[in-house]
Chains A and B, each alone.
Chain A
Amino acid sequence: DAGVIQSPRHEVTEMGQEVTLRCKPISGHNSLFWYRQTMMRGLELLIYFNNNVPIDDSGMPEDRFSAKMPNASFSTLKIQPSEPRDSAVYFCASSLQGAVGELFFGEGSRLTVL
């Protein structure tokens, strides 16, 4: 059974460019999480969807960040315009039971903004 699939695995872009990260959760999971990981701030929750509906987006840094989940099998995290301080590893995770059960993480998307 395939796990959580994220793309791209690596992205290098220039400041000001738009970045779109993609995530395919595990089939049948009803909850999806986007986390950002940096050395300084650790794993930060950006946004959490339940049944495709955003439940908590209080971690989204600012208006430059947006996330969508148009259906149960796909989510995107968009940064426009990107800035060097957005450089991080972005993880998508899915679960059967929200934060009550195990989160399955994807391999992550490593973003570098020059």
Chain B
Amino acid sequence: GQQVMQIPQYQHVQEGEDFTTYCNSSTTLSNIQWYKQRPGGHPVFLIQLVKSGEVKKQKRLTFQFGEAKKNSSLHITATQTTDVGTYFCAGNGGSQGNLIFGKGTKLSVKP
């Protein structure tokens, strides 16, 4: 079945450094979504990418969808302590309409 792999599993950065997490799907995706989960919280939607090669920005966050629609990345510029949490990608393969989550990248930021 459809699998979504995400790396790295953990990332520790100094405040002000950049951060990137990568997501790869075993199958072509119709869309990909990104979520953030704060410690002890629930996943919160950040963005959805639909088009091949699409790039979207939200302030310091840049999201990219690969040309083949099988991979995606999230880049945070100049991390802040408020960026702490786990970032998940979630892919929709389209056949059943369900959303398969990667295992997430846990980001810690040292002030």
Q: A interface vs B, CB < 8 Å?
A: 31, 33, 35, 41-45, 48, 50, 55-56, 58, 91, 93, 98-108
B59 part of interface (Cβ distance < 8 Å): no
Q: B interface vs A, CB < 8 Å?
A: 1, 30-31, 33, 35, 41-45, 48, 88, 90, 92, 96-104
Cβ-neighbour of A55 out of B31, B96, B101, B103 (below 8 A): B96
B43: nearest chain-A partner, CB-CB? A105
Q: Is the CB of A102 within 8 A of B33?
A: yes
Shortest Cβ-Cβ A-B pairs, 5 listed = A42-B103, A99-B99, A43-B101, A105-B42, A98-B97
Cβ-neighbour of B99 out of A45, A58, A104, A106 (below 8 A): A45
A8 → B minimal CB distance (Å):
15
B79 → A minimal CB distance (Å):
23
Q: Is the CB of B98 within 8 A of A45?
A: yes
| Interface of chain A: mostly helix, strand, loop or mixed | strand
Q: Is the CB of A103 within 8 A of B33?
A: yes
Cβ-neighbour of B101 out of A45, A98, A102, A104 (below 8 A): A45
| Given A42-B104, A105-B44, A107-B42, also A100-B98 (CB < 8 A) | no
A110: nearest chain-B partner, CB-CB? B40
Complex contacts, A102 vs chain B, CB 8 Å? 33, 45, 48
B9 → A minimal CB distance (Å):
10
A101: nearest chain-B partner, CB-CB? B48
Q: Is the CB of A56 within 8 A of B96?
A: yes
A-B contact pairs, 11 of them (CB 8 A): A55-B98, A56-B96, A56-B98, A98-B97, A98-B98, A99-B31, A99-B92, A99-B98, A100-B92, A103-B43, A107-B41
